[in-house]
Amino acid sequence: MTGRVIMIRRLPQRGFALVELAIAAVILTLGAIWMATRIGNDVQDAGARATARYLLSVKGAVQAMTVEHFDHLAGYPPPAHGVAPPAAVPGWLLGPMPLDVDIVQLRQPRVDGQPGYLPADFPDTPVYGEGARARIWREGSCPGESCRLQAIVHTTAPVRAAGEPAYSPELVGQVMMATEGYGGHAPPGAPGYIRGAIFNVVNPAGETAGIVAVSASLDTTLFHQFVRQGDTRQVWLQNTLDVAGAVSTATGLALNTAVQAGGHCTHEGMYASTARQSLAVCMTGVWFELTRYVVTGIAGDLVSGATLPPPQCQGGMQPFVRVALQSLDVTLDGANIDVRGRVSGSISGGGSVSETGSVSVSGSFEGDIYSTADSRIRVAQRTGATAGVLDISEAGPQARAYAIYGCHHV
C-alpha cells in the first residue's frame, strides 16, 4: 500500500486587514466631521429661528403700544381742558417723527404704574444682529382718515455668525423663513432699503447689508368702522345712546326736534326744541316750553328820559323791554304827605266869629306835633318805557332804573 503526502505551502500576507482598518478610520473621521458640521448648522438654524421669534415678540409690543397711543402718534390734538386722556403718554414718545424706540424703553413700567410693553426680564439683544430697535413714522395726511402709522422692528447690525466679518446669507435666509411672512432684509445690491414680502422701506441702519426687520405696522382697516378716542369724524347712530357719566361739549348741543309746546310726550324729563327753536321739557306727559323769553341785554343806572336800545328779533319772535326802579329819589309835598297826631299849645291874638259860625283868628301858634299809630307817609314813584324812552315819575336827581330787554315767542 503506497501513501501520498500532500504538502501545504503558506502564502505571504498581502495587507488586506490594514487597508480595511484605514478605510474604516477615514469613514469615521468623515462621519464625525459631517456630524459636527450638521450640529453646528442646527445650532445656527436654532439661533436664526430664535432671532426671528425675538423680533416678532418686539413687534407685538410695538403694536400694543401703537394701539394705546394711536391718537398721539397720529397727531391728534390733546383732549379738551378738563377731559382726562385715555392713557398718559410716556416721555420717549413725545419726540418728532420718525420715532426710534429701543428695548429698554419698551420694558419700562408705564407712567400709570402698569407693566411695560415687554416683560421686565426680556433679553436686551437677539441671538444674531447685536441689538434691536423699532422705528415708527406716519404716512398720508395726519391726523385724519388717510393717516397710516408705519413701524418696523429691525436689528442694529447685520445677521452673521460669530467671527464672520460680513453678514451671512444663510442665516438671513433662516431668519426670513421663521418670520411668518412679516420679515425683510437689506440685500447687498441695495443695502439702503429693507425689502420684504409686505414692505420696502428705508434702512434705519443706513447702507448696511444684512439688516433684518419685521413689519410692526397696524392694520387699520377696521379702525374707521368704530368710534375711537379722539375721533374727528361725524358719528352717526341709528339708535339710542346711553352714557353712564357726564356729557360735555365744547361747541353746543343741537336738538333736531320740533315738538309742540303743550303737546303730548312720553319720556319724562326729556328735553327737546320746539318748532320755534325754544327749549321744552317733558313733564307729566306734556311738553313745557322753558325758553319763551330770550334775554339779549341788560342796562342799569338809567336816568329818566334815557333812550333804551331796541331789541333785534328774528324768526317770528317779538321784542320786549322790562324796566324797574333801581334807586328811589322823590320829594314829598302836598297830598303826598299825610301826618296825623294831637296838637297842644296856646293861641294868642284877636279875631271874630262870622254869621256862619266860622272863627277867624290872627296871631301866632307854637307847639309840637306827635305822630300816632295811624300816621303815614306814602311815596308814589313809578317807571315805564314809552317809544323806547325811560320815564321815572316824580324823579329826583338820584332816581335810577334798569332795563331788561330781548325777544319772546307769542
pLDDT of residue 40: 45
pLDDT tens profile 264-295 = 999 888 999 888 778 888 988 888 887 777 78
Between 21-30, 88-97, 150-159, 284-293, the lowest mean confidence (pLDDT) is in 21-30
Which residues are 215's β-sheet partners?
152
Position with higher pLDDT, 380 vs 298: 298
Q: SS3 for 99?
A: strand
The pLDDT mean for the chain works out to: 81
Beta strands in 161-211 (DSSP E): 183-185, 193-196, 200-202
Whether 194 and 211 have beta carbons less than 8 Å apart is answered as: yes
Domain ranges of the chain: 27-78+90-225, 255-291, 293-332+377-410
Whether 405 and 297 have beta carbons less than 8 Å apart is answered as: yes
Share of the chain above pLDDT 70, in %: 78
Whether 289 and 261 have beta carbons less than 8 Å apart is answered as: yes
pLDDT tens profile 221-234 = 666 667 776 677 77
pLDDT tens profile 305-343 = 999 888 888 777 788 888 998 888 887 777 667 776 665
The answer on pLDDT for 141 being more than 70 is yes
The answer on pLDDT for 254 being more than 50 is yes
Closest among 153, 45, 54 to 99, alpha carbons compared: 153
> What does the buried/exposed string (b/e) look like for 37-71 if buried means 16 or more CB atoms within 10 Å of the residue's CB?
eeeeeeebbebbbbbbbbbbbbbebbbebbebbbb
